[in-house]
Structure 1
Amino acid sequence: MSGARTNTLATLRGRIERIEAHGDAYAPNKVPLGHAGADATLRGGLALAAVHEVFSEGHQSAAATGFIAGLAGRITARRPLVWVRQDFSDIESGALSMSGFSELGLDPHLLVTVRAADADSALRTAADALACDALGLVVLEVWGEARQLDLVASRKLTLAAQASGVTALLLRLAATPQPSTAETRWIVRAAHSPPGNPWHAWGAPVFDAQLVRNRHGPVGRWIMEWKCDECLFFEPAAYPQPVAAAPAHRPHQAHDGELQRRAG
Structure 2
Amino acid sequence: MGVADVVEQLRRAHARLTEALQATTEADAAIVAGATLFDSATVGSGQPVVEQAARHADAARDDVQAAHVLLDQVRELIDGYCRAIAGHGIDEAGVSAAAVSGLPASQAEPTPPPVPAGTTIDPEARYPGWIAELRRNGTPIDPERVLRMTRLRNGRIVWLRSRADTENSMPGFDTDRTDEFERTGVDADRVVDLVFRALDVGEPVSESGDAPPSEGDAVGDAALGMVANGDGVGASHRLVLEVDFERTRRRVAVTVAADGRISDARPLRARLGPSSTM
Greater RCO (CA < 8 Å, at least 6 residues apart): 1
Shorter-chain TM-score tier = under 0.3
Structure index of larger Rg: 1
TM-score (norm 1): 0.24
Q: Which has the higher helix share?
A: 2
